[in-house]
Structure 1
Amino acid sequence: MTRIAFLDVDGTILEHGSVIAPSTVTAIRRARENGHLVWLSTGRSAGDIHPDVRAIGFDGAITNGGAYATRADELIVDRPMPREDVEALERYFAAHGIHYFLQTHGGVYASEGMGPVMAEYRRERHAQRAAELEAQGLPSEQPLWNEPKPVSDVDRNAVAKAVFVSPSTDTVAHAAAALGDGFHVIPGSIPLPGGSNGEIGQAGVTKGSAITSVLAQLGLSAADAIGIGDSWNDVEMFEVVGSPVAMGNAVPELQKLAGRVTTSVLEDGVHNAFAELGLI
């Protein structure tokens, strides 16, 4: 029986910017050799996926948190935000002094203050992680950083989602209340030392909605599907697949939602999940 696995990227395949457990690569390739399908399912833009992840080999990719899905060179889900919603987001960010990225299918665009904020975050994060990685016998992290273009260059008819960094700790709740039901606002996964970060997309446009569309086009049922992730943008994925799996590094609330929990990203989490579910 052919099954299909949808894998988050950051915290599931990739850890700390550039480190991939060798067992993850082996498991994905072996599952595909065994006749199963393996898709990416990420909040990242298609143009912002680490080349080492792409090099593993996949049957397709859901990107931008469900706004797009591609199989080979075919775009089979295409749901950018309405331009007026993008403009409403930017007005909200400007009014509250919030730095942000806008993501399209092909790339990432940064507000004027986002570059310095992320440069400082990367510096502190690298210093913090260096000793931990050395103790684990892992190479020093070399995060891929494609310098984003300025938001002045973005096509506002092609924006899929926004990622924000705020000095306030309550911006996720505040943004959800202020922007209204037309937006999907969730906590982000950037471990900042203070403030808050999050992701904002269209209501109803999630990894779950894209997976439902992909399954229909492939003629597969939810019972055939596995979803593995560690972040809040994986909740809707867990809701639509027959076998949801949370990573061991996911927060306890997400592990409880998934029901099934594997080991962490660098402790063979994907491999162990695939083995338990019979893909390898």
Structure 2
Amino acid sequence: MYKLIAIDVDDTLINDDKIVTEATQQALEQAITKGVTVTLATGRMYASAQAIARQIGMNVPLITYQGSLVKNLLDGHVLYERSVPQDAARRIWQYAEEHSLHLQLYIDDQLYVQVDNEKTQSYAGLSKIPYIVEPDFSKLIDQPSTKMLIIDEPDYLDEVAVELRDLLGSGVHITKSKPHFLEIMHSEGTKGHALTYLAEHFGCDLSEVMAIGDAWNDREMLEVAGLGVAMGNAVPSLKEIADEITLSNNDDGVAHVIRKHILS
């Protein structure tokens, strides 16, 4: 019996129409009724994730910002938080300036951008959150950033990731949530670290935890969970390390694996 389930949001919980289907909603509700704790583990901001959590009836702490922030849904109490180290944040900003990269900052659950362009608008539309335009990031860079994100072409971001890892060392965690999104967090700001914390918070052994995801940023939580499940639409690298592969996000893959392991 799994006592805790952590589910990624984009391309996992929600389908390509950006909705939680009725079948998935019912499976989640039935699992919760059986006493299973169900939470989200997403790269999204808390402000974005909480709307989805409330839609499906969750009332537990949520793993957000790739694991950099675990926050109670009911009272907004912060349980776990990690910020990008200040020296690393300044280096990332300088690197972005030198290479004319689109950089976004996340401070106190607010999204800050330097320009209001197509990349900003597309991202905000996907996440359904507002943003604040601040052309001069020097006013913000010394404030704790929960996450920093660069938007560009996938192949170029792969090159940027290599350079930033060399520049910043082990103090940060760099991953991709989507091909166009390169995300930088504290080294302990991963879904694996956050899920480990949350399991202890609920008194669960990690062997009693199920994690479900589709992208490489889900790797750490699939590795620490007793059952790591990759979606049918997951990237090949995640499928390779998963314990099990379920159906795709358009075929109610989350509902399928919950029925199999929790409800049957």
Q: 1:155, CA displacement in angstroms?
A: 7.3
2:100 is the alignment partner of 1:100: no
2:245 is the alignment partner of 1:261: yes
Deviating more after overlay: 149-158 vs 104-113: 149-158
Q: 1:199, CA displacement in angstroms?
A: 1.0
From 219, 226, 229, the counterpart of 2:213: 229
Structural RMSD (CA): 2.3
Q: 1:154, CA displacement in angstroms?
A: 4.9
Q: 1:264, CA displacement in angstroms?
A: 0.7
Deviating more after overlay: 68-77 vs 220-229: 68-77
Letter in 1 for 2:41: S
Task: Indicate how the Cα distance of structure 1 residues 156 and 39 shifts in structure 2: closer, same or farther if over 3 A, else same.
Answer: farther
Letter in 1 for 2:245: V
TM-score (norm: length of structure 2): 0.87
Letter in 1 for 2:34: N
2:130 is the alignment partner of 1:147: yes
Task: Indicate how the Cα distance of structure 1 residues 186 and 276 shifts in structure 2: closer, same or farther if over 3 A, else same.
Answer: same
Deviating more after overlay: 166-175 vs 58-67: 166-175
Gaps of 5+ in 1: 123-141, 191-195
Superposition pairs of residues 1-280 of structure 1, within 5 angstroms: 3-16=3-16, 18-49=18-49, 51-58=51-58, 59-71=60-72, 72-73=74-75, 74-112=77-115, 115-119=117-121, 143=126, 145-151=128-134, 152=137, 154=140, 156-167=142-153, 168-169=156-157, 170-190=159-179, 196-279=180-263
Q: Secondary structure at the match of 2:237?
A: helix
Q: Deviations over 1:224-261 (max 9, x none)?
A: 10000011111100111101100111011111111300
Q: Deviations over 1:89-119 (max 9, x none)?
A: 1111111111022123522222326x32344
Aligned length: 254
Distance 2:2 2:244 in 1: 21
Distance 1:88 1:266 in 2: 40
Q: Which has the higher helix share?
A: 2
Q: Secondary structure at the match of 2:255?
A: helix
The answer (yes or no) to whether the contact 2:65–2:146 under 8 Å persists in 1 is yes
Task: Indicate how the Cα distance of structure 1 residues 95 and 112 shifts in structure 2: closer, same or farther if over 3 A, else same.
Answer: same
Deviating more after overlay: 87-96 vs 175-184: 175-184
Gaps of 5+ in 2: none
Distance 1:66 1:177 in 2: 23
Q: Secondary structure at the match of 2:9?
A: coil
The answer (yes or no) to whether the contact 1:81–1:157 under 8 Å persists in 2 is no
Distance 2:49 2:250 in 1: 19
Q: Deviations over 1:171-222 (max 9, x none)?
A: 22222223222221123315xxxxx531111123211111111111211100
Deviating more after overlay: 82-91 vs 215-224: 82-91
The answer (yes or no) to whether the contact 1:64–1:105 under 8 Å persists in 2 is no
Task: Indicate how the Cα distance of structure 1 residues 118 and 106 shifts in structure 2: closer, same or farther if over 3 A, else same.
Answer: closer
